Structure 1
């Protein structure tokens, strides 16, 4: 299995911190999620980290076995 990790407000949107998913094309994985959550994850200010390294958005991304894709929302503070 692969894993999606939701941080910050995205955890509230997802209703969980992490979710196990079947490895495969990210577009297919996102299509299997609640449409509102998928839309939040694709927000222009959300950053992605694949196995701990920041990556650019890519609909062509394919998650493999044991991959972890974290979704990082924008943060604010002073």
Structure 2
């Protein structure tokens, strides 16, 4: 059995809340895309930070509704 923990990216530019992800005892951390319809750190950026700094496996969600193909590719690069 695998455990997935949901994680909301922080509001603002302070990366300190991302450190909380390292304390989650889960097999994967799922980073939500703009929960609560508020401005937050991009889920792809937060997921990359968590993977690199906390050493956790991550899954991120992404909404491409307001992006064209080039914008989506640019974000994922």
Common topology (TM > 0.5):
no
Larger radius of gyration: 2
User: Of the two structures, which has the highest relative contact order with CA contacts closer than 8 Å and spacing of 6 or more?
Assistant: 1
**Greater share of helix residues, 1 or 2?**
2
**Greater share of strand residues, 1 or 2?**
1
TM-score range, shorter chain: under 0.3
